[in-house]
Copies of this chain bind each other. A is one copy, B any other.
Amino acid sequence: MQVKLEEIIQSIYLLPEQVLEEVLGNFKHLEYPKNHYLLKPGKSCKHIWFMTKGAVRYYYTNEQGKEMNTWFSMDRQVIADTSSLVKKEPSEESIQLLEDSEMYAIEYTSLQTLIQKHHAFSLWYIKLVELYYIAQIEDRLTDLQFLDAKQRYQKLLSLYPDITNRISLGNIASYLNITQETLSRIRAGKI
């Protein structure tokens, strides 16, 4: 247990000792093997996970049965199907581990209860959403709109320098929304 949950929580927004204790009690430490599913389509997302080690991909399966990655997270990141969580609707996507991973989980219902109970925790949650979620998704949206495949790949590389050792070419290509042939050609400098 290298990364302490308390540190992660306090780095988002400082909570009073008493609230922190109660919040910590609502998290579970979990370990899952590579390929484990945190979420499958049709199920509602009921947790927020704070990954401390590992890698995960989010993907949709289209009508032709093709898996299309929409995102992945590595190491210290927050994981959830925010759309399913917020709308309280069944998820349309899958969340699958790409490495043996460790994480802390909190149930969304517990989170809701804590938000209602503690003003400080509602402020913590606002910071979480603003910093970890909105900032991230905004960046991704502008990248998708303005950058071509090669530029998106280069940006991804600068964000995760070791990604080529950890995530397969096919998975990265799917995330970039290009074919693996195209990504292979980008790597070879042919594009």
Seen from chain A, the residues whose Cβ lies within 8 Å of a Cβ on chain B are 60, 62, 68, 70, 82-83, 86-87, 115-116, 119, 122-123, 125-126, 129-131, 133-135, 137-142, 144-146, 177
- Cα A115 to Cα B115 with chains together (Å): 13
**Within 8 Å CB of A87, what residues of B?**
135
B122 touches A68 (CB 8 A): no
**Within 8 Å CB of A122, what residues of B?**
119, 122-123, 126
**Within 8 Å CB of A129, what residues of B?**
126, 129-130, 134
**Within 8 Å CB of A62, what residues of B?**
146
- Cα A83 to Cα B137 with chains together (Å): 10
Task: Please name the residue on chain B nearest to A84 by beta carbon.
Answer: B138
Q: Given known contacts A86-B131, A137-B137, what 13 new A-B pairs fall within 8 Å (CB)?
A: A60-B142, A70-B142, A82-B138, A83-B135, A86-B130, A87-B135, A115-B126, A116-B123, A122-B122, A122-B126, A126-B126, A126-B129, A133-B134
**Within 8 Å CB of A119, what residues of B?**
119, 122
6 contacts between A and B (CB under 8 A): A86-B131, A86-B135, A115-B123, A119-B119, A129-B129, A144-B144
**Within 8 Å CB of A140, what residues of B?**
141
B116 touches A83 (CB 8 A): no
A134 interface neighbour in B83, B125, B135, B139, Cβ under 8 Å: B83
Task: Please name the residue on chain B nearest to A69 by beta carbon.
Answer: B145
**Within 8 Å CB of A86, what residues of B?**
130-131, 134-135
- Cα A135 to Cα B138 with chains together (Å): 13
- Cα A121 to Cα B115 with chains together (Å): 12
B145 touches A177 (CB 8 A): yes
